[in-house]
Structure 1
Amino acid sequence: MSRCRFILILILMCGVDGDEVKSVTEGDSVTLSTDVTDTLTDDQILWRFGPKNARIAEIYQQNLPIYDHIEGFKDRLKLDGQTGSLTITNICIADSGVYKLTIIRSSGTLYKTFTVSVNSRLPVPVIIKDSSQCSSTSERSSASKCVLLCSVMNVTRVSLSWYKGNSLLSSIIVSDLNIRLSLPLEVEYQDTNTYRCVVNNTITNQTQHLDINDVCQTCSGPIQCSGFTEAVIRLVVFALMGVATVAVLVDHLRYIRELNRKEQTPSAQQ
């Protein structure tokens, strides 16, 4: 028997170790396929997970699947009775790791491993106007700019980008956990182009479209530009000043009336 033929027989009898990488989003479902095309009969399917190789699921001779409900997997595992493929529902970050498959058949044993990476679900970006750049109508020309900030919170291993139509304008990438990631953009108040802010990782993205008329509102005067809170404070101050002025006038009138009354009293007695 030649050396090559001997190796081929070993491959057919014992199978070949395989490694498959899966990247999924938190909350989704993922299926780890055995790639078995024929119906299982006397086969034994065994699934293990993690550095301790803990058994999480098993099926033998098409009997009812057995699930070892280790912490975190309860009611989220499902074995296909025909192929032995394993489905994990509502997947979470803690489910990231290595899954090992063993198929024991009369013709030999087959091994396969899966490396599953679970990414956090991306938030939708938020676009706000930089209020410090607000100017009144009289100060602005047709070429003045509206300064915007696109932000996302609590993200890791993502990129944040501004697009004008389908053209990339700017982008920033972070690898570590970032409490707040922001990217500025300047546009003209009369700009009619379409803009969008996109946050994405290796498997998914979230997009926020810009409405310039809504976000870049025109400032009608210094009170509106300085904000609603400051406007209310000014109104209260003006009202208090008015009340104080009225009080002083009333007190002054009372004083004059009292003087007139005292001057008229001696004449009446004579």
Structure 2
Amino acid sequence: MCRKLSQNARRKQGVFADTDAVESVSVLEGDSVTLGSGFTEIMDEYLIQWRFGAENTLIARIIIMAGSITVYDDVLDERFRHRLKLDHQTGSLIITNITTEHTGLYKLQSNSVSKSFSLTIYAHLPVPVISRDSSQCSSSQQNCSLVCSVVNVGHVTLSWYKGNSLLSSISVSDLSISLSLPLEVEYQDKNSYSCVLNNPISNQTTHLDITQLCHTCADVHIHYCDTVEAVIRLVVTALMGVAAAAAAVLLVSDVRSTRG
């Protein structure tokens, strides 16, 4: 994809930053990011190139004297297709609708300056789910056992908070993993608790409703017994209906047999 630069852009003098340091950039999946060249304007003699990954694959280039801008968005299995743009005034690289495939090292090269960017893309975070750990319930237990869980996450931290105070946390750097973090509270606890899932650029929070989740174990067992009793009644009723239908069939068959 090529485009001619304006005559004004070719003639303007530029100011640039010369650094070999790697700049870390983080962005949320689906957003756009601009990797700045450090130039306020580009000078006539500059050839500006952007390269990506360990293989230094050329993905964009500005040839100032020829007045052209080219993006190579068909390389690397077209992962950059319709996503690359170059600022014709500064030479900065713009990546739109970014995905985790675009994580990696980007290098700017020109006649007199080079810059590197380590780009990390984070996926959108799910909302953590708080549930009752019924396996820990006993009639003698004084506390309510809870679990906060998330699935298919990576590079995140899962934490329990009491008000603004951190109670416990667990971190993971792997991709697509499931996390669970337990918590015990008293049944009559009036404090505010929340479970927070976060990465370096975003977070999701679920607040605990103790009155909804934390009933006494006696209440749990009563509810369980009531449920079991209701199920048994339904089964017995169904069996009685089947037996009655079978008896009716036998009676009709017997009557027909007697008449014959």
TM-score scaled to structure 1, two decimals? 0.71
Alignment counterpart, residue 94 of structure 1, candidates 97, 101, 105? 101
1:25-104 pair list within 5 angstroms? 25-37=28-40, 39-42=41-44, 43-61=46-64, 63=67, 65-69=69-73, 70=75, 71-104=78-111
The verdict on how the C-alpha distance between 1:226 and 1:160 changes in structure 2, with shifts beyond 3 A counting, is farther
Aligned residue number for residue 224 of structure 1: 223
Q: Which residue of 1 aligns with 2:4?
A: none
Residues 1:60 and 1:226: Cα distance change in structure 2 (over 3 Å): farther
Deviates more, 1:231-240 or 1:125-134: 231-240
Counterparts of 1:190 and 1:24, CA distance in 2: 42
Tell me, in whole angstroms, the C-alpha distance in 2 between the residues paired with 1:231 and 1:102: 75
SS of residue matched to 1:36: coil
1:201 aligns with 2:199: yes
Q: Cα distance, 1:81 vs. partner?
A: 1.8
Q: Does 1:126 align with 2:129?
A: yes
Deviation at 1:132, TM superposition (A): 2.8
| CA distance in structure 2 between the partners assigned to 1:213 and 1:164 by the alignment | 16
The 2-side partners of 1:31 and 1:45 are apart by 16
Q: How far apart are residue 205 of structure 1 and its match?
A: 2.1
Cross-structure match for 1:148: 146
Structure 1, unpaired ranges of 5+: 1-11, 255-270
- Is 1:195–1:209's contact at 8 Å kept on the other side of the alignment? yes
CA distance in 2, matches of 1:33, 1:233: 66
User: Which residue of structure 1 lines up, in the alignment, with residue 118 of structure 2?
Assistant: 115
Paired residues in the alignment total 228
Once the two structures are superposed, residues 128-151 of structure 1 have per-residue CA deviations (whole angstroms, 9 ceiling, x without a partner) of 11233456xxx58xx832211100
User: 2:132 & 2:70 partners in 1: Cα distance?
Assistant: 56
**Aligned mates of 1:13, 1:170 — CA distance in 2:** 47
Shift of 1:164: 0.4
1:17 corresponds to = 20
Amino acid at match of 1:116: L
Greater Rg by CA: 1
SS in 2 for 1:196: strand
Post-superposition shift, 1:227? 8.3
CA distance in 1, matches of 2:195, 2:94: 34
1:226 CA displacement: 5.6
Structure 1 residues 222, 21: CA separation in 2 closer, same or farther (over 3 Å shift)? Answer: closer
Partner of 1:237: 235
Q: What 5-or-longer segments of structure 2 have no aligned partner?
A: 1-14, 252-260
Provide the secondary structure at the position in 2 that maps to 1:117. strand
Partner amino acid, structure 2, of 1:124: V
CA contact (8 A) 2:142 2:186 kept: yes
Q: In 2, are the aligned partners of 1:197 and 1:207 still within 8 Å (CA)?
A: yes
Q: Identity of paired residues, percent?
A: 49
Structure 1 223/246 Cα, relative in aligned 2: closer, same or farther at 3 Å?
Answer: farther
Task: Give the direction of change, closer, same or farther, for the CA distance of 1:211–1:36 in structure 2 (3 Å limit).
Answer: same
**Structure 1 residues 115, 152: closer, same or farther in 2, change over 3 A?**
same
Q: Give the conservation status (yes or no) of the 8 Å contact 1:18–1:111.
A: no
Aligned equivalents of 1:65, 1:226: Cα separation in 2: 74
Distance 1:183 1:61, change over 3 A: same
Partner SS state of residue 237, structure 1 = helix
